[in-house]
Structure 1
Amino acid sequence: MHLVCPAGNLPALQAAIDAGADAVYAGFRDQTNARAFPGLNFSDDELRRGISYAHARGRKVYLALNTYPDSARLSIWERAVDKAADFGCDAIIAAEMSVLDYATRTYPRLARHLSVQGSATTAPALRYMYEHFGIERAVLPRVLSVQQVERLCEQSPVPLEVFAFGSLCIMVEGRCQLSSYVTGASPNRHGVCSPASFVRWDEHADGSRSVRLNQVLIDRFKPSEPAGYPTVCKGRFAVGGETFHALEEPTSLNTLELLPRLAAAGVAALKIEGRQRGVAYVTSVTRTWREALDRYQAAPSGWSSDPAWQKELSKHAEGHQTTLGPYHRNWH
């Protein structure tokens, strides 16, 4: 299985490659990708340099073009596809059919991966994307049980990639309504959940902090309590006289213990979430998964998860908690 790691900037790309990533995924500094945070992503020159760095070491770079353009702005996504081909990207990761269609017609030799934002959870959906747009890989949404992943691996016409570690999304990928409800800015049209322009942090006299999204109170944090980026789904709400994480607790997906089962199913690649995270995160998580994969490849039958790996990954988890998420549900 290939290890596909996040690169929010050039130092993170280099760190991921140095720590053992087989491929990295990156985006331009615009709304063509779903991590359009201020100060994040790549200029044209930086992406060229990143591709050269990766290719010199036998690794790959995928360009995330995974948001949904409206018809008036489609040319922006088309120019991004042009650049991907011109710069030598190894694949684009796209969700919207017009973007995939343009890439298919204009650059048939440029590999096309179906983004998780495409929300393909069935064999017919995967088959449609393969037959119409020649996708070479599909990234599965983080809402499937491990049994569903196994069945899709049996039925899919293309290799499949699954998320192995990182932030969870409670919505069907690409269909989030919570952030757009509060801000009026769709994550899939503006390239980011909880756009920074709508976020306001307030420091209080007792050292506590509160955060609002478009003037809506999302959470309050005690002085010593770690605070993550404010998203509606992971805020705390007053429900039935109790205040708690009513929708989703801050926690990270961690599938390390499922590695043998995912390998046996035929999963082609494991994806690490976190283009918005720093170099320390990318280095540590990539190195840990590289060691786990190498040890599995060397001796599959005797492989077991090392407690030291889990301890290291927990340091970088949201809320310092990890979960198997939908993978471990007993209904499917």
Structure 2
Amino acid sequence: MVKTIRNTIQLPAILVKLSRNLRKQKKFLRNNIAPLLNQASSTNDGTLTAKDFMKINRYYGLAVPAILGEAFCRLRRKPMSESERWASTSQGIITGLFDDFFDDLNLPQNLIVNMVEHPENIVPGSSNEKLFLEFYLRTLKEAAHPNMIKQQFLLVNKAQVASIEQENLNIKNDRIWEITQKKGGDSVLFYRTAFDNLLAVGEKETLFQLGSLMQLENDIFDIYKDAQSKIATLPTTLSRVEYLRELYKKQIDLLIDLCYKMEYPKKQIRYFLDSVMPVINRGFVCLDQYKRLEKTSAGIFDVNVYTRKQLICDMEKAGNILSAVKYQLMNQY
């Protein structure tokens, strides 16, 4: 009851701060990134797609600094510097471009590794590679710990290579979960390297867990796309929504437990959770939608029998926004 009261009191401030952070990052993108993207677009050889630019402006280039980056800053209780914003934004920008290396361009591993380790020596072979290298080099220039960025990026690459196993629909669920954890956990730790302060005791384990949870949530929302692409994820393979919900809840509980083991003041840990939980709680809204679908198919959830419209969870709908708010009020931390 006490936590529910706190959640109710804190909710307006949480939402206002989130909105303010997003507006600030959108302004940064308009003033600093848009001219560079316009230049890249004018010389595009076709390897940069409309989807790439959308990912930069609406997803990774926006959310990585404005949500994750600001959460890191609340945890340490120090505002984001201009250099950190540049580094974090640049990391967000290269995220989707890096995915293209695997999904569209099929670049050889030795080239990708060389790009990560020695970007200054690479002559780009496409517009995609050129934009990637431009912002990766900017990340390394702006960040206080460029070697840590390279080391962590190699782990991100390793996890991405492992995820190719998910194209085998006979892959075991234990292996899927292992890949999911590595892919998400190493990515969040990569985004953390943009910030000047070193990891506190317990922070690495906590952020790895946060990334695992966020990757699971991403897979929950992407269930239709992954099913159509014949990619095995836990949401595409499990036949009961309740199993997935129990796993999701268990991972949230583990995240909260790990948070309070970090060597940060409890007040700052709560602020950190206030920053990330509005994102995490969206997963429950999507699971509720899938549960309703399950009831229409004899209590068995089968992604192959539902339409795209039934599986896409639109978080811009008023009803879904209200449901997410409801789950935010139910937080137990």
TM-score (norm 1): 0.29
The structure where strand makes up a greater share of residues is 1
The structure where helix makes up a greater share of residues is 2
